[in-house]
């Protein structure tokens, strides 16, 4: 993956470079940010309240509170659920490490269950075997915007009296059986980081069950503070500094206006990916190359990312070589994600990648290709030609 210096050189060069993602900001958004700056109220204020109100409407009236980032939303969700020292939380090993870091951060223990090879989400059929008397919650991840089986997930919750904290960081705009992810369920955490389908640059929101949870979340995001009257204040719990600013909030409000347009474009691009890659594989005679494409779901997924799993066992190269040669062609890629259990922090605690073999294989083989609304149709064709050409070059078959 290019470092910051390499990326700057690529952006400044005369050759067109296609990053794996890029946020979309129009003049209306820029003007809205400027208006907030001119107002003098740039931290949490009226635009934050408007954003939270609008998000609540989007999620069918459920309480919503916004935070400085999607990591804070997950940590505070765990605190609201009362999870702490000695508790266990079942989650997936294929996610950004923040998913499990927040579990460690509240003193609990992550229990990693292997993933499904097709959906790349946590394999819910294996969850029951991981439940112990210490299990308090399940934290699934809707990887790349493809939801887990919500019926099965909440059946497990009911059968075992467990809280569900959905890491929906990548799933804003996704749905399950016609209902938006976040409009139902338990605690649902979203990220608005720069590469998300809806971005506030940095930020996130937590969808809650009732006003009491919402008030608790407000205290936790700002030093445990409550105010009474003009000058009264009290702090009765330990909180943090995780509030979202009005500058971030007004960007989110503008993004919401365009979300359906962005989403429609992502679907068009995803469809083109399937067609272009399959056509290129066929035309180059790579019928027996096992390049794994994502689930072809154009109803539930928001197509946050388009990820393939490379057939490394059929290639005379590794993933890094594929990424390097794509970069040389002006195509940026990403890795989302290596198995969390392979990080030193987790290995030092006794976790082993081989305990979740599907996640281990996919974690070292998965590759994120560019996908964002401002891409042209021809960009997809260029990427498909590039990756299939590299696979043909290094193919053993």
Q: Are residues 289 and 385 in the same domain?
A: yes
Assigned domain for 37 exists: yes
What is the H or E stretch that residue 176 is in? Answer: strand 175-176
Distinct helix (H) and strand (E) counts, the chain: 12, 13
Assigned domain for 122 exists: yes
- Residue ending a domain, among 229, 252, 275, is 252
Cα 256 to chain centroid distance, Å, stands at 17
Q: Are residues 135 and 195 in the same domain?
A: yes
Question: How does pLDDT run across 179-215, given as a tens digit for each residue?
Answer: 999 999 999 999 999 999 999 999 999 999 999 999 9
Q: What is the mean pLDDT of residues 239-244?
A: 96
User: pLDDT band for position 327 (50/70/90)?
Assistant: very high
User: pLDDT band for position 6 (50/70/90)?
Assistant: low
User: pLDDT band for position 93 (50/70/90)?
Assistant: very high
Q: Are residues 80 and 169 in the same domain?
A: yes
Q: Are residues 240 and 289 in the same domain?
A: no
For the question of residue 219 being annotated catalytic, the response is: no
Assigned domain for 21 exists: no
Assigned domain for 22 exists: no
Q: Are residues 35 and 118 in the same domain?
A: yes
Q: What residues pair up with 163 in beta bridges, in sequence order?
A: 137
308 close to 290: Cβ distance less than 8 angstroms: no
Residue 396 has pLDDT above 80, yes or no: yes
Question: How does pLDDT run across 15-52, given as a tens digit for each residue?
Answer: 589 999 999 999 999 999 999 999 999 999 999 999 99
Assigned domain for 374 exists: yes
Q: Are residues 233 and 147 in the same domain?
A: yes
Q: Are residues 191 and 339 in the same domain?
A: no
- Residue ending a domain, among 207, 232, 252, is 252
Q: Are residues 220 and 241 in the same domain?
A: yes
Q: Are residues 170 and 277 in the same domain?
A: no
Of 196, 257, 347, 396, which residue is the catalytic one? 196
**Can you tell me which residue has the tokens 């998000």?**
55
Q: Are residues 160 and 199 in the same domain?
A: yes
Q: Are residues 241 and 290 in the same domain?
A: no
Q: Give a three-class secondary structure readout of the chain.
A: CCCHHHHHHHHHCCCCCECCCCCCCCHHHHHHHHHHHHHCCCCCCHHHHHHHHHHHHHCCCCCEEEECCHHHHHHHHHHHCCCCCCCEEEECCCCCCHHHHHHHHCCCEEEECCECCCCCCECHHHCHHHCCCCEEEEECECHHHCCCCHHHHHHHHHHHCCEEEEECCCCCCCEECCEECCCCCCEEEEECCCCCCCCCCCCEEEECCCHHHHHHHHHHHECCEEEECCCEEEECCCCCECCCCHHHHHHHHHHHHHHHHHHHHHHHHHHHHHHHHHHHHHHCCCCCCCCECCCCCCCCCCCCCEEEECCHHHECCCHHHHHHHHHHCCECCECCCCCHHHCHHHHCCCCCHHHCHHHHHHHHHEEEECCCCCCCHHHHHHHHHHHHHHHHHHECC
Structural domain of 369: 4-13+259-394
Q: What is the CATH number of the domain that holds 326?
A: 3.90.1150.10
- Residue ending a domain, among 233, 252, 271, is 252
Assigned domain for 20 exists: no
Assigned domain for 162 exists: yes
Assigned domain for 18 exists: no
Q: What is the CATH number of the domain that holds 135?
A: 3.40.640.10
User: pLDDT band for position 391 (50/70/90)?
Assistant: very high
Closest CA to 137 of 119, 114, 111, 107: 111
Kindly tell me the sign of the dihedral angle through the C-alpha atoms of 47, 54, 74, 146.
negative
At residue 287, the pLDDT reads 86
Q: Are residues 78 and 206 in the same domain?
A: yes
At residue 13, the pLDDT reads 45
Split into its structural domains, the chain has a count of 2
């Amino acid at each position: 993956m290019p470092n910051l210096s390499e990326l700057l050189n690529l952006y400044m060069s005369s050759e067109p470079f296609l990053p794996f993602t890029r946020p979309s900001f129009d003049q209306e958004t820029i003007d809205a940010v400027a208006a907030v700056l001119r107002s003098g109220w740039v931290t949490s204020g009226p635009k934050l309240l408007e954003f939270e109100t609008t998000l609540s409407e989007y999620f069918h009236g459920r309480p919503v509170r916004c935070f400085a980032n999607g990591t804070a939303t997950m940590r505070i969700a765990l605190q609201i659920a009362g999870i702490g020292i000695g508790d266990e939380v079942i989650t997936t090993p294929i996610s950004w490490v923040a998913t499990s870091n927040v579990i460690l951060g509240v003193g609990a223990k992550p229990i990693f269950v292997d993933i499904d090879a097709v959906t790349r989400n946590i394999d819910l059929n294996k969850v029951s075997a991981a439940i112990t008397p210490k299990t308090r919650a399940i934290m699934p991840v809707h990887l790349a915007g493809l939801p887990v089986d919500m019926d099965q997930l909440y059946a497990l919750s009911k059968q075992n009296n467990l809280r569900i904290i959905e890491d929906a960081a990548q799933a804003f705009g996704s749905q399950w059986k016609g209902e938006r992810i976040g409009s139902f369920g338990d605690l649902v955490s979203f990220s608005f980081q720069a590469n998300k389908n809806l971005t506030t640059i940095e930020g996130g929101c937590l969808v809650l069950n009732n006003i009491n949870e919402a008030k608790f979340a407000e205290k936790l995001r700002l030093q445990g503070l409550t105010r009474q009257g003009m000058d009264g204040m009290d702090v009765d719990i330990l909180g943090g500094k995780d509030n979202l600013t009005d500058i971030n909030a007004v960007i989110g409000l503008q993004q919401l206006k365009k979300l359906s347009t962005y989403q429609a474009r992502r679907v068009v691009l995803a469809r083109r990916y399937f067609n272009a890659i399959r056509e290129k594989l066929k035309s180059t005679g790579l019928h027996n190359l096992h390049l794994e494409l994502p689930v072809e779901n154009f109803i539930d997924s928001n197509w946050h990312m388009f990820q393939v799993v490379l057939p490394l066992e059929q290639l005379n190269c590794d993933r890094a070589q594929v990424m390097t040669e794509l970069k040389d062609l002006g195509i940026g890629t990403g890795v989302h994600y290596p198995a969390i259990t392979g990080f030193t922090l987790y290995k030092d605690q006794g976790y082993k990648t081989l305990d979740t073999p599907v996640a281990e294989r996919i974690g070292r083989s998965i590759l994120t290709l560019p996908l964002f609304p401002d891409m042209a149709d021809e960009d997809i064709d260029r990427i498909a030609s590039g990756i299939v050409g590299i696979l043909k070059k290094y193919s053993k078959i």
